[in-house]
Amino acid sequence: MRKKIVAANWKMNMTQSEATRFISTFLLEVGESRDVEIVLVPPFTAIATVNAALENAQHVKVGAQNMHWERSGAFTGEISPAMLRDLFVRYVVLGHSERRILFGETDEIVNRKVRAAHEATLRPILCVGESLEQRERGEVEQVLSTQLRGSLAGLGAKELQETVIAYEPVWAIGTGKTATAEQAQEAHAFVRRVLGEISDEATAEKIRIQYGGSVKPDNARTLMSQPDIDGALVGGASLDPRSFAQIVQGAGEK
């Protein structure tokens, strides 16, 4: 049985004081349930503050939105895996479509980061997903297969099991256009099939696959009740503590 994982990708939002305020409301709203793994993914500048605010809520984990693959050196403006470990970060979002499209990250770059994350015992949340043009041209499977094989190259079964995949169709991100539960399930089942080809079926069954793209309190439960949807990676709706708490609760309902 895969434990659902719901993560808040705050992107380039939230100052330290906003993050602190978010957490005090969120913890009250979300309640005590431990059925769902919760991850907050603040900008680097708020990570230490988020850790401090979560002192009595150790079940809520912290992630980062990106990192460099090298251990240290002359890479102005970059953050290393060890620096994230030093901040008690457990997860790192890699290959988000905004990184791929706006900052030119290729599957090869994402693969270096994914491998560096595992070396540092950080768990990657690897994002994959097609654009609207690619969907209209009937290329969804080809795009997902290429991104998965390229980004996960060289990983063993144990590392794959400790990787979370986020299927985020680019056309659904920040647009209010959610994939239907059927469209999302179809893509997730395909992702799992490719994961089985990369490793083996038993390993693929253990890997959690999140859906991302305009997840809101009113669609979260339907999406996450699909057999291959194991959680959500939430952007806009995760900036509101009540909305994000409702989404987490939606993951816990059958």
Could you say whether residue 130 binds ligand 13P (CB under 6 A)?
A: no
Could you say whether residue 168 binds ligand 13P (CB under 6 A)?
A: yes
- Would you report the helix, strand and coil content of the chain in percent, each value rounded to 5? 50, 15, 35
Q: How many residues does the chain have?
A: 254
Q: φ and ψ at 55, to 5 degrees?
A: -50, -40
Query: CB of 182: closest distance to ligand 13P in angstroms?
Result: 19
Could you say whether residue 236 binds ligand 13P (CB under 6 A)?
A: yes
Residues 233, 245, 248, 251: which binds ligand 13P (CB under 6 A)? 233
- The CA angle 195-184-225, to the nearest 5 degrees, is 95
Joined together, the tokens standing for residue 216 give 């809101």
Q: Which of 68, 96, 118, 188 is catalytic?
A: 96
Could you say whether residue 170 binds ligand 13P (CB under 6 A)?
A: no
Is 118 annotated in the active site?
A: no
How far apart CA 6 and CA 33 sit, in angstroms, is: 13
One-letter amino acid at 78 equals E
Q: Which is nearer to ligand 13P, 116 or 170 (CB)?
A: 170
Could you say whether residue 9 binds ligand 13P (CB under 6 A)?
A: yes
Q: Which of 98, 105, 168, 188 is catalytic?
A: 168
Q: φ and ψ at 165, to 5 degrees?
A: -100, 140
Number of residues that bind ligand 13P (CB under 6 A): 14
Could you say whether residue 231 binds ligand 13P (CB under 6 A)?
A: no
Q: Which pairs with CB-CB distance under 8 Å and at least 24 residues apart come from 198-203? A: 198/148, 198/149, 198/152, 198/155, 198/160, 199/157, 199/160, 200/157, 203/157, 203/160, 203/161
Q: Which is nearer to ligand 13P, 199 or 210 (CB)?
A: 210
Binding string to ligand 13P for residues 50 to 89, with x set by CB under 6 A, is what?
----------------------------------------
Residues 124, 169, 235, 250: which binds ligand 13P (CB under 6 A)? 235
Is 70 annotated in the active site?
A: no
53 contacts 24 by C-beta, under 8 angstroms: yes
Number of DSSP helices (H) and strands (E) in the chain, helices first: 12, 8
How far apart CA 95 and CA 127 sit, in angstroms, is: 5
Q: Which is nearer to ligand 13P, 99 or 199 (CB)?
A: 99
Binding segment for ligand 13P (CB under 6 A), chosen from 26-34, 168-176, 193-201, 222-230, is 168-176
Residue ranges in 187-216 that form contacts with ligand 13P under rule CB under 6 A: 212-215
- Residues with catalytic function: 96, 168
**Residues found near ligand 13P in the complex (CB under 6 A):** 9, 96, 168, 173-174, 212-215, 233-237
